[in-house]
Structure 1
Amino acid sequence: MATKAQAGNSIIETIKTIVYALLIAGVFRTLFFQPFWIPSGSMKETLLIGDFLFVNKMAYGYSYASCPSVKLGVVGIDIDAEDICGFMDGDNTRLFGGTPERGDVAVFRHPVNNTDFIKRLIGLPGDKIQVKDGVLLINDQAVALKDAGDFEEVMERQGPQGRFPRCENNSAVGEGAICKKSRQIATLPNGVEHAIINIGDQSTDHTGVYLVPEGHYFFMGDNRDNSTDSRVPQNAGGVGFVPYENLIGRADRIMFSSAGRSMLFFWTWRSDRFFKGIT
């Protein structure tokens, strides 16, 4: 029979093991890869609601945004990256900084509310960006577009938020029917090709000219008509220009994808998205 001293030592060792494991996990997440679960449809069809991926933090180097945030409302824990690494904030620089490339799918911290966003990098520092009649112009040159049929999905509640998708054929779609959106292949100036989808004409299809400031980037969602991104300024509830130091990392590959309300519902995992590359 174990003595009280032995039992006490066992508890202490267990606590130490848990603390060490958390420290190792925290260091790994801070320096190398951060898990990210796609909560919205703003990057369809490239990323679907329920895609689970790891963000490569080594791609762009490190800033205050590289530190993890810990939010556990159930137990009252709300630790932001700025609480841990705020001493690195403010100068818009990075340690071992890498250069983001146009077309990267990247995770970044919203410049105002500190929420993590994932979008496609469209505009580099010094670029002139505009959307005219639904066509993206970069430095006064229209991005090449090629029609690619329709993107189709079932009209049903998606993800933990349980929202229905928006459809181009909205008037003819009921629950369980096929929701369609127009799909095109866009070719960026550096040759990166990616799919975009459209739902209809709206204000973000007709914008003014954005001049991307030095040290900042311009992001857009591939689901053009269902994305809160740099086309809307921060004071109007959008993203605006994103500082270099707010970049967290590049998304390169989907690990697995859940079509259900939780990523733990393994019976809803999509068989065609295991280890799928992100382009």
Structure 2
Amino acid sequence: MNFALILFVLLLVTGALYAVDVLKFRKLRSKNGPEPLWVEWGASFFPVILIVFVLRSFLFEPFKIPSGSMIPTLLVGDFILVNKFTYGIRLPVINKKIISINNPERGDVMVFRYPEDPSLDYIKRVVGLPGDTIAYQNKRLTINGKPVEMSKIADYLHPERLYYSEQYSAKMGKVEHRLLNDTDAPAFIPDVARFPYRENCTYNAAGVTCKVPDGHYFMMGDNRDNSRDSRAWGFVPEQNIVGKAFFIWLNFSDLSRVGSFK
């Protein structure tokens, strides 16, 4: 469901009703007379919908984490806020950038429209920038020939499934974060799609090596063996970017997670 489009249509309808009421019918009503239903239930909602539309389209948009691909950084049930303007101002609905501000950086947690189905929003970590060579071999990440700095920390216990994953602290650019690997999961990449610029990637039993094309980004989940990401479905084009995730504002199961984003 395209919520942005639905909100835009509601804005147009209520805005039209509001304008008609202000310019014509409000002048014809007695000062203390009752408002007709189309004003009470239509035009009166216009200011509220306008504020929501502006906030959601240009400033901040809430999302709920639906899967475990970003564990341990983000858990299922986390409600997060996404900064819609940090990478530039985009027109609502069509998502076309009209003002450039910043470019995504390695380590950013980014929301984007899923390349295989742009009606879906995905969230992963930015690993590769345009022009980078990304190698994920034997569960170790290398960027432009340089291994990403990692150190082993205490294993991570998945509370709902009651099993452990190896946990690492990694540094990518200016960002330090945690990631998971499962020792019993294979290194090769299963279920690889036929995606644009597929010829930029080489697959083998140990993983994949890709050259990121111009205007595209290589995304990976922090839960490395439980994330279907750029390793399988390819690169994220710049026009699919939604914004940068930066804050957990609610988790009904664990209120201590509010504000914990690292």
TM over 0.5: yes
Distance, in Å, in 2 between the alignment partners of 1:94 and 1:118 is: 23
Q: How does 1:78-227 map onto structure 2 within 5 Å? A: 81=93, 85=94, 88=96, 94-114=98-118, 115-155=120-160, 165=161, 178-188=162-172, 190-199=173-182, 200-202=184-186, 203-204=188-189, 206-227=206-227
8 Å contact from structure 2 (residues 107, 175) kept in 1: yes
Q: How many residues align?
A: 214
Residue identity matched to 2:246: D
Distance, in Å, in 2 between the alignment partners of 1:118 and 1:150 is: 24
Q: Which moved more, 1:95-104 or 1:47-56?
A: 95-104
Write out the 4+ residue segments of structure 1 that deviate beyond 6 Å after TM superposition: none
Residue identity matched to 1:207: G
Structure-2 residue corresponding to 1:263: none
Distance, in Å, in 2 between the alignment partners of 1:191 and 1:6 is: 62
Deviation of 1:19 (Å): 2.8
User: Could you state the TM-score of these two structures normalised by the residue count of structure 1?
Assistant: 0.71
Residue identity matched to 2:151: K
SS across alignment from 1:272: helix
Distance, in Å, in 2 between the alignment partners of 1:226 and 1:15 is: 46
Structure-2 residue corresponding to 1:19: 46
8 Å contact from structure 1 (residues 134, 201) kept in 2: no
Distance, in Å, in 2 between the alignment partners of 1:55 and 1:39 is: 15
Which structure has the bigger radius of gyration?
A: 2
Distance, in Å, in 2 between the alignment partners of 1:20 and 1:14 is: 12
8 Å contact from structure 2 (residues 127, 220) kept in 1: yes
8 Å contact from structure 2 (residues 82, 243) kept in 1: yes
User: Could you state the TM-score of these two structures normalised by the residue count of structure 2?
Assistant: 0.75
Matched, 1:242 2:200: no
**Alignment RMSD, CA only?**
2.1
Identity %, equivalent residues:
38
8 Å contact from structure 2 (residues 139, 207) kept in 1: no
